[in-house]
Amino acid sequence: MISKKMLINGEWVDAVSGETLTTVNPATEDVFGEVPSSDKEDVDRAVAAARAAFPEWSAKPQEYRSNVLNQIAAKIRAQAGEIAHLAAQEHGMPEKLGFGPTMGAAGNFEMAAVYARATGGELIKSVKTNVMYCFDRVPIGVCALIIPWNLPFFLMAQKIALCISMGNTCVVKPPSINSVIGLKLAEIVDSVEGLPKGVVNVITGPGGRTGNLLASHPGVDAVGFTGSTETGVSIMKAAAPTIKKVVMELGGKNPAIIFPDAPMHLALESLGHHQFFNCGQACGSPGRYYVHKSIFDEFVTRLTEVAKKQVIGDPTAPETTMGPMVSAEHAGKVMSYIESGINEGANLVIGGKRHGDKGFFIEPTIFTDVKEDMMIYRDEIFGPVAVITTWDDEDEVLRRANDNTYGLTASIWTTNIAHALKLGRRLTVGTFSVNGHNLIAPEAPWGGVRESGIGKEGGWQGVLEYTEQKMITINLDE
């Protein structure tokens, strides 16, 4: 078992109470790690450290801060293999696939280092000849960063990079399910020369307690959160009394609309990958497939072949493409959706069962004959479950694609690019892709509308989310 401490003000500490929580290897069900379980006193200490570090860090030249971010990125790249192995053990991400998000985490620090140096203010023309108006981009202050369990290292790196690049300080809460991964990033950050103590503080504990304490803390100026819409609502309520800024990337039930002239091989390669990558535990995974009736049978047959090729097993093994679900609780939730689909009359094409006698494994699953009132059609499943429907009227498929409380992302598959762009304008989503799914990178902003979130993560827009506009007015009279 791996035992870790929290990082507060540059020191590795236990919780004041001495309480701990354990994490589990989802492939073996064995205890994997033990970390502190923080409470109010720990949160107070961490916020105070971040508050004390803010004046020095925010006053550093931007070149200095960007250099620190680039150092963090270099250390992540140097330890990428170790990080991917750790993620396989505590999270269940196949090790060979976990290498990509780890390198992407480094890319987020490099991206933020560049964009922060290019971020400036703006001169505003005035109708008054004796007055000049301009605004500057300034850091918000102390930010609470609350991380989800589905891509913990990548998303923790992204939030820290965006936050501290412009001079903010932060208190980070990794997910309780895979806290050891989060504390690994804390070790990397702490090892970098030139980062003052207290700029990045990492505390562990249950979300319902530690997360809410952070969101409601009067010493926190903004909250960055990725996770479920339900948890997002709770965090907004906690943040509301002190009017904190919130940046949230929440759930999705993402439509993929496939036309008769779609590049079929490309659609199957991309959608199949994203459907079963990380066991479908990704907010941007395909949530609802709308396949034109003329190619419906072919698409289902070929996606089924993609599902059959998934190799389920030990996430540290090189041949594995699908590891376990992250926890027993979440595996049970996904199985309840599968059972509801069967009970409500959907056609189970493949899968639908647990895999093996140990670990939280679920088979790749595909449903057809899905009706709009079924739970598997309406809700975000967050698992390796494809929900496929058919269509033949474009206006009707657009209505169905938009008829959901979410609005994260969508993909459109056709060789008529102009038509796809026109169609995409009518989709109520934060992002849509043409002949690709989730074509994202560190420089590309990401975020949804409606119940899928507030604000953007990534890219220049993501850097700006962690700033405020400070107006400056100048009287030119002598």
Which residues belong to the active site?
249, 283
Do 221 and 141 meet the contact criterion of CB atoms below 8 Å apart?
Answer: yes
